[in-house]
Amino acid sequence: MTQYSRRDFLKTGAGAGAAFLAAGRLPGPAAREAAAAPPAGPVAVSSGNGIRATARAMEILQSGGDPLDAVIAGVNIVEDDPNDMSVGYGGLPNEDGVVELDASVMYGPTHSAGAVAALRNIKNPSRVARLVMERTDHVLLVGEGALKFARAHGFKEEDLLTEKSREAWLLRKETLSDGDFWFPPRNRTAPEALRSVLMTHGTINCIALDAAGRLAGVTTTSGMSWKLAGRVGDSPIIGAGLYVDNEIGAAGSTGRGEANLQTCASFRIVDAMGRGRSPEQACLEACQAVAAKTRLVPRLCDDQGRPKFGLDFYALNKKGEFGAAGLFPGGRYAVHDGTENKLREMAYLYKPGR
C-alpha cells in the first residue's frame, strides 16, 4: 500500500477536488470524457514570442521527458535572451530602474503549483517557482523572501538590466515630464528601437500536454514596464496568469495583468473547457468577461467602450485541442502539434474598426 506523508498529502491530491468544490460542482461530462479519452499529446502552446520555447519543449516531450521540464526549458530560452525585453534578463525595469520578475508553474498530475513575484537579480524566475512548488510547503514567495530562497538553492545573482533596457528606462524618465529635473541630452533623437519600448509589456506563457496525458504550464515575465516597485501582475497568480487541471486542460495569459487579476481568467478558461467549451471558445468567453468588467472603468475604455489595453489567452485541453484569443485582432501564438511548429492567428473579440 502506498504510504503518504503529511507533506505528500499537502502538496498533492487534495487540490484537484478543492478546485471543483470551489466552483461548487463536480467535473462535468466533458471533463470526464476528456479524462477517459486516449491522450492526444504531445502538444506545446505558447504566446507569440515563444516559437523557440515550443520547439524546445517538443524536443523534450518527444524524447519522453516530463512536460514541466519541457515548458520550463522552453521559456528559459526567452528568459535568457537579452533581446526579449519583456521577460527575464533584459526585461524592462520598474520605475526605479530595477528589474523585478514574476513567474508561476503548475504541474497537472499532482495539481501542485509554485510561484515567485517581484524577484530581483535572478534571470530564471520560472526555475525558482518550480523549486517553491517542489521544495517548500508554500505556493508563492515574493520579493526579498523569494530572493533569499533562490540564493539558498544556489542561484547566481546578476544585474538583469542590460544597456538597452537601462537606456530605455532613462529615456522614458527624461522625456516623461517638462516639470521635473531630468532632461534628455540636447539634440538627442531617440533611436526608433528605444522609442518603441517607451511603454511596453509582455510575458511568455507555455503550456504542454505529453503523450501520457500529463499537463504542465509556466508563465514568466518582467511585468509591466515602469511599474511601481513591488507591483505584482497576473503571471505569478495561480488562476489568473496560469491554471492547469490535469483532468481538463491548461490555460495562461499575457497582457494587462491588472485586468486579468480582477477576472481570474485562466481558472475561468479551464473551468469553461471542463463544461465542454473548446479552448478557443473558452478564451473568447474570458475576453468577454474582461471587456464587460472594463466597461465599469471609463479611464480604461476608448470612446466605444472597448478596453484600451491588450490581453491574450492561450488554452490546451486534455484531448490535445488548443486555441487562443485576445481582445483585438492581429495576435499570434506558437503551437507545436508534434509535427509542425508554427505561429497561428488568434481569435479575437472586437472586429477591426467596430
Question: Which residues lie near ligand ASP (CB under 6 A)?
Answer: 201-203, 221, 223-224, 233-235, 254-257
For residue 99, the minimal CB distance to ligand ASP (Å) is 13
Compare residues 205 and 246 and give the one whose CB is closer to ligand ASP. Answer: 205
Residue 110 phi, psi dihedral angles, 5° rounding? -110, 0
Question: Which of the residues 203, 219, 220, 254 is marked catalytic?
Answer: 203
Confirm if 183 and 174 have CB atoms less than 8 A apart.
Answer: yes
What torsion do the CA atoms of 112, 237, 213, 55 make, to the nearest 10 degrees? -120
Query: Half-sphere exposure of residue 214, counting CA atoms within 13 Å on the CB side?
Result: 18
Compare residues 213 and 233 and give the one whose CB is closer to ligand ASP. Answer: 233
Compare residues 254 and 294 and give the one whose CB is closer to ligand ASP. Answer: 254
Terminal-residue alpha carbon distance, the chain = 62
For residue 223, the minimal CB distance to ligand ASP (Å) is 3
Count CB-CB contacts under 10 A for residue 17: 12
For residue 261, the minimal CB distance to ligand ASP (Å) is 8
CA dist 208 and 250 (Å) reads: 8
Query: In 23-142, which residue ranges form alpha helices assigned H by DSSP?
Result: 29-36, 51-62, 67-79, 125-135
Compare residues 91 and 279 and give the one whose CB is closer to ligand ASP. Answer: 91
Amino acid 284 reads: L
Compare residues 170 and 261 and give the one whose CB is closer to ligand ASP. Answer: 261
Q: How far is CA 122 from CA 55, 142, 144, 147, 200, in A?
A: 24, 13, 12, 8, 21
CA dist 206 and 211 (Å) reads: 17
Residue 203 catalytic?
Answer: yes
For residue 94, the minimal CB distance to ligand ASP (Å) is 11
For residue 5, the minimal CB distance to ligand ASP (Å) is 36
CA dist 299 and 294 (Å) reads: 9
Residues labelled as active-site residues: 203
